[in-house]
Amino acid sequence: MDKRLLTSDFKKSVAYAENLYYERCGTCHRAYDPRNYSSEKWMAIMESMKFQAGLTSLENMQISRFVSLFAADK
């Protein structure tokens, strides 16, 4: 497998999730820098906000992965 393809797909996935985060989570309030909280704190935030934000299961998973990827404890 060409590693460039994997890198390109990863970058596209991260960019998509980042856009989704800022679009969906920045609608009612500012979207916080993912580095502001630990992965554990982000999971609690995502659990409490997913219904209020009207996220689908897929959107919740994508955003959760994005914020966890860049969380303070990473």
* Cβ atoms of residues 50 and 11 within 8 Å: no
Q: What is the pLDDT confidence band of residue 2, given thresholds at 50, 70 and 90? A: low
pTM: 0.85
- The whole-number pLDDT of residue 30 equals 94
Range 46-57 average pLDDT = 95
Task: Give the CA-trace dihedral at 41, 43, 48, 51, to 10 degrees.
Answer: 150
What residue ranges do the domains of the chain occupy? 3-69
Count of other CB atoms within 10 angstroms of residue 65: 14
Taking only the tens place, the pLDDT of each residue in 7-42 is 778 899 899 999 999 999 999 999 999 999 999 999
Count of other CB atoms within 10 angstroms of residue 73: 11
